[in-house]
Structure 1
Amino acid sequence: MGYGILIILAVGLTVCLGRYLWVRQAPQHQPEPTSICGGQFKAIGSKCYYIENDKEQKWLGALYHCSSMDGHLASIKNQQELDDISKELRPNKEYFIDLNDQINDGDRDELLSATTGLAPNFVHQNLNINKILLCPTINTLSQMKDAFCTENMLFVCEKKEIATQEQKEKIEQNFKKIGDKYYYIENKKLRKWIDAFHKCQELGGHLATPRNDLELLGISEELHNGAQYHIDLTDQLERGEFLSISSGLKDNYFAWADGEPNLNFAKDSVAIEKTEMGTFMYHVDINELKYFICEATI
């Protein structure tokens, strides 16, 4: 009888030990890792990128699309970043990044970053920087190639990073708080629209996009009577559809002057002008020299 009990106990312990070992060795279900980038962005190297592999755009359209995703065209800082991105690109395809050379006004004629408004830290050695209206592309060969900004290409977006304390201090130094936003209003130097765009980026903001009557009224206090100021809105992508390139917004606020927008001429941009009757918006030539307004938030 005693031997029978011992046998039963031994069998029981063997079964329990077998189950324990099976549980320990069995693969455990692991939750799907969550993206550290969020949205449609993907971690590549140390940054978050979105690679558009289907719909080609002109350079400005690519810039707008990236802005609508809370990003900007990719700003490549070194060969390693270029190598990391290039591995994710399609063969025999070219992709726009944030570099461009569209300022040819005698004052500046150089390759600039649309993200910083400054000359880039890194340019691949095979790039022909003497080409007019150049918007470089990248490819699977880890190269940069020259392309026209009006060509249709795929593109790479980079997720915007949270402003650093240094960047915030730069805004507070260069901008004046009006309402809930910070503004820089240029009342001395006249620039073309694309030049004003880059200057605002250099200062730490972007061309202004008034969102309502209150914001427009606040800005108006700082404007010269009769002078026109470039803002962010433009219909360069589609005639008569005025988009905010910097914010990626479509449903924008307008305060058109009588007879505006005048669509009898080419796709262009929007300027605001303070008059005795109020401050209004005008459809203007992007190549006209005007003052401009930058905007930033902290």
Structure 2
Amino acid sequence: MSVESQAGPAAYGSFRPRRSVLYLPSSNERALEKAKTLPVDALILDLEDAVAPDAKATARENACAAVRSGEYGRTELTIRVNGIGSEWHDADIAAAAAAGPDAIVVPKVNSAEEVRQLVAAMEAAGAPDKTKLWAMIETPDAVLDAREIASASERLTAFVLGTNDLNKELGAELVPGRQPLLTALSLTLLGARAAGIAVIDGVWMDVKDLDGLRAECVQGREMGFDGKTLIHPGQVEPANEVFAPSAEQVEDARGLIEAFEAAMAEGKGVATYKGKLVENLHVDTAKKVLATDAAIRAL
């Protein structure tokens, strides 16, 4: 859960759920139109991997038009530009900054210095304050420098895991449970949380295997990820369900807070809920559950 929610229920308005974050090829106008009706928390309008070289300019125009349209409701809109050093990167940054999405997503960010350079380029192109930077973590260098990267600028508010590229860089095999990636996932999470930013898990590639997707979502939620990046609309519902608090969790959160407040009001030094000791850290966690639930309902 990102730092945006750490103030508890009073911060409902500032917390944005990112349970489901769907990549869309911006060259595909039909997909952009369909996305207006999807119950997805965030969209990554892609100019990079999903777009052929001869369609880059059209994709850029389409993504910027989508951001400006105001037709996506409360869905968080981001644009993924082509990577640093590519022939399209500078034009992508300039156009995306001018369009003013909620965030600009940059692949293969490897250092704090690159973050500072990206922020400078965004600001030079007139990016409004609301347009944040999301850095994709896809290489061993990035994983090992995750805390420094996450702390490089206040405009950087989220990490997005590029697990396929990371797996390739490691020379690891794709296996159920992602054992070869767990160290990298954990280090990235630690860096993000130390800096107080959000962190979104990588994609599940088999669009027909929803059971596998659900299992990986559960793993990601248990590890601490805010949500999951997705490649197909059919993956949205499982991600939304797994990364949302259950009705039982919401009920327990309310009960725990009430028990703690009642104990404090009575001058008791110790509070319990369902036979378990309740401390401030448990109250903070319960408030985060309620903040997440409220933000989801507000969508």
TM-score (normalizing by structure 2): 0.30
Whose helix proportion is higher, 1 or 2?
A: 2
Whose strand proportion is higher, 1 or 2?
A: 1
TM-score (normalizing by structure 1): 0.30
